[in-house]
Structure 1
Amino acid sequence: MPSSSSGKPAAKSSRKPVIIGAGVVVAALLLGLASYTATKPDDEATTTSTSTAPAEVSADPQSGVYPELAKLARRDAKDPLAVGRADAPVVMIEYADFKCGYCGKFARDTEPELIEKYVEDGVLRIEWRNFPIFGAESENAARAAWAAGRQGRFWQFHSAAYAEGAKEKGFGKDRVRALAEEAGVKDLDRFARDLDSDAAKAAVREDQEEAYELGASSTPSFLVNGRPIAGAQPMATFTEAIEAAHRAAPKAAGSSGGPAKADR
């Protein structure tokens, strides 16, 4: 299975680990196994593996849902790596790598529809987690995305990095700086400092550890109010999961969150 550039999960930080039950670990491991074939880098992928088989999502709002995983939603209204209201009834957490071809497919083909259909209506919040598993350039792109977010341009960087043909140009230092400029990052010197900062490394490591702790091992992986979904699934899979989660969510909203619409 793909892993970080060291071949092992990143060193554990001092933050409190996610406590999850054995059944959740099994579900998450299956999630990773199911999506691996469809998320290998292009130079490893076979010609016969071109998509992820549609996942079956039960209409039962509680089927396949793990409350422990639902608690991973941060709901921070100031999080620049999230889009949608902090009090949205449904939170989809996305664990992804900028070098993952199927993450790019999801970003181009499915995510914009989800934003238009659910985020802008206040139903859905999407929280991004950097999960670099394809080596040094994955790590560099993850830290660059975080650095762009420090200037409010994460989602613009995300779009530029996932554009058709972008990952084939690599994510070296000069390349991510060019992507930041394309994304409208104003202070490129600050971007360069943030990119190499301990804070960037810690933020990416925190996201990466979260994914490893819940058992994910491939990208893209998703949690929709605690329901695992593996791979760049068709729009219908996400629609069914989001609508089931919305039906099961409490009717009353919590605190007022951030804006429903992203500046993308």
Structure 2
Amino acid sequence: MPTSASPTRKLAAVGAVIALVVAVLAIAIAVGQAVESGRDDGTGAPRAATSGQSSEDAGRQKMYDDLTKRTTRREDGDALALGKKDAPVVLVEYADYQCSFCGSFTRKTQPELVEKYVDAGTLRIEFRNFPVKGADSERAARASWAAGRQGKFWQLHDELYAKTRKGDELAEDKLVGMARESGVPDIEKFRKDMKSEAAERAVERDQEEGYQLGVQATPSFLINGRPISGAQQAEVFQQTIEDAAAAARSSAKQNEGAGK
């Protein structure tokens, strides 16, 4: 029999639903605007939709493409990313290290996505530190960035999410211990980097990106602009990745044909 969710867990779930509704509404508005703009080219005649697409589908894809351009970085040497820089699909995750749902995604779903899509070159994962639970979350976010400075971001990331950690479990000495366990070679550099202005700026950059997008709960994801809120079943992520990959292939073929 399922265990009743704690009040905190219920609030987190409600927040995830609200965030999903906001994202869906934003897409619906953008699709509507794109469709309206596509109906008239100034001559009084409706524009033709892309071959094989309705106006609604074309508008929705435009929204996804715009969000993809706004959120994917594809930076060389990005320590907070997994996968090929030119992978056709990019999953962007906004997460907090005190978030139990974020940990569930990391432990249960992400390994399947890495094996099936990242290793195959289809998917790139870009992590964004989005601490919403106060100073302990912010400290952990800076620690993960500091580990990345020594090539150990994902090792510390996975250790932080190995179980749900709250409050004092993310104190500086505990984070240093986890960094050692994660193989961070220079602990003094790790301490210095964790407290640096550069770490603070990096976390603020991720936060600002999330706030501008309207992210309200963790984890929140964009897969080539397609929003997913909460630690959904692996099948939800897989289907969204497949859809995004198919759209990317179609766009590549159209661009290839246009260039001939």
> Judging changes above 3 Å, is the alpha-carbon distance between structure 1 residues 124 and 198 closer, same or farther for their aligned structure 2 residues?
same
Unaligned runs of 5+ in 2: 25-52, 254-260
Q: Cα distance, 1:170 vs. partner?
A: 2.1
Shift of 1:169: 5.7
Given that 2:130 and 2:210 are in contact with CA atoms closer than 8 Å, whether structure 1 keeps it comes out as yes
Q: 1:196 to 1:49 in 2, by over 3 A?
A: closer
Tell me the distance in 2 between the aligned counterparts of 1:113 and 1:151: 26
Q: Distance in 1 between matches of 2:204 and 2:11?
A: 33
Cα RMSD (Å) of the superposition?
A: 2.9
Map residues 1-264 of structure 1 onto 2, 5 A cutoff: 44-46=8-10, 63=60, 65-71=63-69, 72-167=71-166, 170-250=169-249
- For residues 84-124 of structure 1, the C-alpha deviation after alignment (integer angstroms, 9 at most, x for no partner) is 00000000000000000000000000000000000000000
Distance apart, 1:237 and its partner CA: 0.5
Normalising by structure 2, report the TM-score: 0.74
Q: Higher RCO, 1 or 2 (CA under 8 Å, sep at least 6)?
A: 1
Identical columns (%): 50
C-alpha distance in 2 between matches for 1:156 and 1:207 = 20
Cα distance between partner residues in 2 of 1:68 and 1:48: 28
Q: What CA distance in whole angstroms lies between the structure 2 residues aligned with 1:148 and 1:43?
A: 33
SS at match of 1:86: coil
Deviations 1:20-75 (A, max 9, x none): xxxxxxxxxxxxxxxxxxxxx9672349969x78x9x9xx9865752221011001
Judge conservation of contact 1:77–1:85 (CA < 8 Å) in 2.
Answer: no
One-letter code of the match for 1:45? R
| 1:249 match: secondary structure | helix
Residue aligned with 1:114, SS: helix
Cα distance in 1 between the residues matched to 2:194 and 2:12: 37
Deviates more, 1:160-169 or 1:207-216: 160-169
Pairwise CA distance, 1:250 = 3.9
- Residue identity in the other structure for 1:145: S
User: Structure 1 stretches of 5 or more lacking a match?
Assistant: 1-40, 254-264
Larger helix percent: 2
Measured in 1, the distance between the counterparts of 2:6 and 2:154 equals 24
